[in-house]
Structure 1
Amino acid sequence: MQRVCLALPTMRACPGTIVDLAAEAAYAVATFGVEVHLLVLDTTDAAEFAKNAAAVASLAPTPGVFVHHLGEARQREFLSRVAKGSGAADPELLLDLMLPKAVAYGSCVNRLFLGAAALGCTSAHLRNDDFDYQVVDGRPMFPIHHELLSIGRPAGEAVAGVSRSELDPADADKPVMLVSGSFIGELNVDIGEIHEMDPDVYRDLVRLWTPPVWSQEERDAMVDVSFKGAGSEPFGTDDSVLGVPDIWDVYMCNIALDHRAYEVLPLLPSIQTIGSDYALLHALVHARLPGVVHKRHIVNYYTPERRIGAGFISYQMRFVKFLLSMLYLYPVYGGMIDLGRGMLDERNELKVEPILDLVRGTFDWDRAGNEHCLDVVDRSYRKLGGKYAELADVVAGQRRQLLDEAQEDAERWAVLVEAWAGMVAAARAEGLGADGATG
């Protein structure tokens, strides 16, 4: 029986989301006859963890659905065993890369990947803790419907499960490594308020994340589509396309990935940095592996703590670090485009060595681009005034640290990439442990 992992990382109380995901898991079992492991990796404090645990306890047992809810202590114990079992020279460093004290989007997804490997799953189906499903005639539009039709299958076989195919016949034997929808609703980076306050400042800031080698016209066109997903048009009818996806059509919180992808390349373990969880998608797309995109978009929304006080400063600093990360990521992505199918081995799966070489090549990149980036950020935030001027003071006070951390993030990613195969093997051998799974 096919075993899959429906995965949720969370750092807040989200009992409603847990209940909704359990319904999606039950749908998958009833529709496709698979075994679903709902894996919730929870780094909340005790009070919020208790709310999530109560939601798990309230779930009606469903044959074929197994729920695993791991708090931070249980995750640390699992990851410690994996790091030690990986054979790496510095398991404590690996543990820090996987479970840092600060928020790390890539790290939390990497933990899900190792959890899926430990559970013996062949695919991971990723969601987040601030979304809703679209509902049509009382029925939630579960993305897992399209995901399980195609993920992991030879592309030539997956043709039968999609609305239309743009597949190159030469790719028929290649596996479908990703299936993704997008999102509607709020921007997936919480900067809409800046656009409302001053569209020109918004454009100046968003332009900072565009490739500097592009023309001004290309960069402005990218600004116009950035962070908007599928816009605001609600679900109409099911539609799915098989072919080489466009990177703009895939969304990391509404995606299924085959284990032969995430067991090769981990995500960046950057702390306090949004957008650090897309490198694997770039590798798959630029290697021109087949994928499926569909229209069961999720509805994105933001929780209010990100928009006031310390929560505002914390989130916006993650956006600043995202802008700085591009100096090191765009050379990697550009190299991936140049390599194309050269990133694939004889089984049409990703090779880690050429990607690792690209990452290592960025370590000594000239920081002038990031110096300019911070100058524009400072000028832009001060023009907005109010809480954004206060944010500018915080950025200015951490300027040297931010520049250093952007470079260190690339170096730490290389360490993790080097150790990843050993960690995956150790996770498989160790198992997730006696985590009190319910099913």
Structure 2
Amino acid sequence: MNRICLCLPTNRACSATLVAIHAEAAHAARHLGSDVQLLILDSADDPTRAEHARVLAALPPVAHVTVHHLGEDAQRDVLRRAIEQADLPEPDRVLRLMLPPAVSYGACTNRAFLLAAALGCTSLHRRDSDSTYQLHAGRPVFPIHHELPWLGRPAAEATGTVTRTDLAPELLHRPVSLAGASFIGELSVDIAEMRRLDEGVYHDVVSLWAPGDWSEERRRDLVEESFTGAGTTPFTGDRSTLTLVDPMRVDMCNIAFGRAVYERVPLPPATDTIGSDYFLLHLVHDARLPGILHNRHIENFHTPERRTDTGFPAYQRRFVKFLLSMLYFHHVYDRMADAGDTLLDGDRYVRAERIVAFLRDSTGLDRTENVWRLDRVDTAYRKLGGRYAAFADQLEQQRDQLLDEAASDIEDFAHLIEAWPALIEAART
């Protein structure tokens, strides 16, 4: 029986989501022949976490579904033991990168990767607490239907079950390394208010995540596509393609990876930034590892804390850090694309040392482009006025700090990749 990890990281109240993801786990066990380790990584406050524990305890037991509900203290204990056993240099730094005091989308998923290795799982399937499953004919549309059983198996074996195959023949012997879809509903990034206030400002700001040398036409196309997922059209029937999955067509709320990917390279552990958890989508694509792109999109929604007086500036800061990170990531993505097949060793595993070299090379880039990005954000937010202008004032005081953080985040990522093999091996034991 195939053992998988179905994971939900959360830092907010999400009792309904817990019930729903447990139903997906039960579906995988009953209908897809899997032993499901349902992993809830809970960073919520004590009362919320206690309510989550009550909800999970009340769920009916299901054969071959095991629920693991870990708060941060329990996660920290696991990490400390793994780091100690791995005998890593700078153990406190590694612990901080794996469980930082601030919000990190990459770090929470890295903890899931490590625990999936500890649980002996062959794949990890991630969902988010600010999303829900679509309904079709009164039944939930579970993405896991397409994620199993092909992860880790040669792509040629999946050709008979997908709707179509768009994969070069020489890649069919490679393992299916990713399966995913996108979302419908609200934008994946909570900036729709900006677009309602001023379309021009929205274009100026969103276009800043493009490479600095792109033409205005390419920027305009990127803005049109950015953060929109699969639009708003609901699910009506299954479609799936065996292909090299375009990172723009999938979302991390609706994704599954084979262990051969996440046990080789973790995600960037950057704090206080959005988009830090999308790196592996690019790596799988650029290394020409097959994936399954399907249309069981999850329904996205935004929780209200991002729009409160304290939540708004915190979220906008994450968005700005995302824009600054792209100076470095575009450099790395370009080199990964050029490297192609050479990103893999003879056994078709990712050569992590090449990724480290690309990351370290990027930290020497001139920061002028990022200074320009901050100038453009400042101008745009002041045009919007109100709390956007107030945030621009705050941003002005933090410019040097943000520029330094964007570069140091890349150094931290390279350091974690180097520590990762020993951490994974320690987790397995």
Listed one character per residue, the Cα deviations across residues 304-359 of structure 1 (whole Å, up to 9, x for unaligned) are 11112101111111001100111111100010010011101112221111111101
Residues in 2 aligned to 1:86 and 1:49: alpha-carbon distance in whole angstroms: 30
Letter paired with 2:146: H
Q: How does 1:207-218 map to 2 (within 5 A)?
A: 207-218=207-218
Give the corresponding residue for 1:436. Answer: none
Q: How does 1:35-434 map to 2 (within 5 A)?
A: 35-429=35-429
Deviation at 1:302, TM superposition (A): 0.3
Listed one character per residue, the Cα deviations across residues 142-195 of structure 1 (whole Å, up to 9, x for unaligned) are 000000042121100011221111122111210000000110100001101100
Equivalent residues of 1:150, 1:161 under 8 A apart: no
Residues in 1 aligned to 2:168 and 2:178: alpha-carbon distance in whole angstroms: 17
Partner-residue secondary structure (3-state), 2:148: helix
Residues in 1 aligned to 2:209 and 2:167: alpha-carbon distance in whole angstroms: 31
Letter paired with 2:29: V
Equivalent residues of 1:28, 1:34 under 8 A apart: yes
Residues in 2 aligned to 1:279 and 1:87: alpha-carbon distance in whole angstroms: 27
Residues in 2 aligned to 1:224 and 1:13: alpha-carbon distance in whole angstroms: 32
What 5-or-longer segments of structure 2 have no aligned partner? none
Indicate the percent of aligned positions where both proteins have the same amino acid. Answer: 51
Deviation at 1:219, TM superposition (A): 1.6
The number of aligned residues is 429
Letter paired with 1:19: V
Deviation at 1:278, TM superposition (A): 0.9
Partner-residue secondary structure (3-state), 1:213: coil
**CA-based RMSD:** 0.8
After TM superposition, what 4+ stretches of structure 1 lie above 4 angstroms from structure 2?
none
Equivalent residues of 1:287, 1:341 under 8 A apart: yes
Partner-residue secondary structure (3-state), 1:150: coil
Q: TM (normalized to structure 1)?
A: 0.97
Residues in 1 aligned to 2:393 and 2:53: alpha-carbon distance in whole angstroms: 39
Deviation at 1:388, TM superposition (A): 0.6
Equivalent residues of 1:175, 1:290 under 8 A apart: yes
Deviation at 1:214, TM superposition (A): 2.1
Letter paired with 2:295: K
Residues in 2 aligned to 1:37 and 1:198: alpha-carbon distance in whole angstroms: 46
Give the corresponding residue for 1:432. Answer: none
Q: TM (normalized to structure 2)?
A: 0.99
Equivalent residues of 1:149, 1:161 under 8 A apart: no
* Between 149-158 and 416-425, the greater mean CA deviation after superposition: 149-158
Listed one character per residue, the Cα deviations across residues 249-286 of structure 1 (whole Å, up to 9, x for unaligned) are 12111011000000111111101000001111111001
Residues in 1 aligned to 2:213 and 2:352: alpha-carbon distance in whole angstroms: 26
What 5-or-longer segments of structure 1 have no aligned partner? 430-439
Partner-residue secondary structure (3-state), 1:189: coil
Equivalent residues of 1:184, 1:298 under 8 A apart: yes
Partner-residue secondary structure (3-state), 1:242: strand
Residues in 1 aligned to 2:58 and 2:318: alpha-carbon distance in whole angstroms: 35
Residues in 1 aligned to 2:146 and 2:200: alpha-carbon distance in whole angstroms: 39
Deviation at 1:104, TM superposition (A): 0.6
Partner-residue secondary structure (3-state), 1:296: coil
Residues in 1 aligned to 2:186 and 2:149: alpha-carbon distance in whole angstroms: 29
Letter paired with 1:33: G
Residues in 1 aligned to 2:304 and 2:86: alpha-carbon distance in whole angstroms: 40
Listed one character per residue, the Cα deviations across residues 60-113 of structure 1 (whole Å, up to 9, x for unaligned) are 110100000000100000011111122211111100000010001100010000
Residues in 1 aligned to 2:230 and 2:212: alpha-carbon distance in whole angstroms: 25
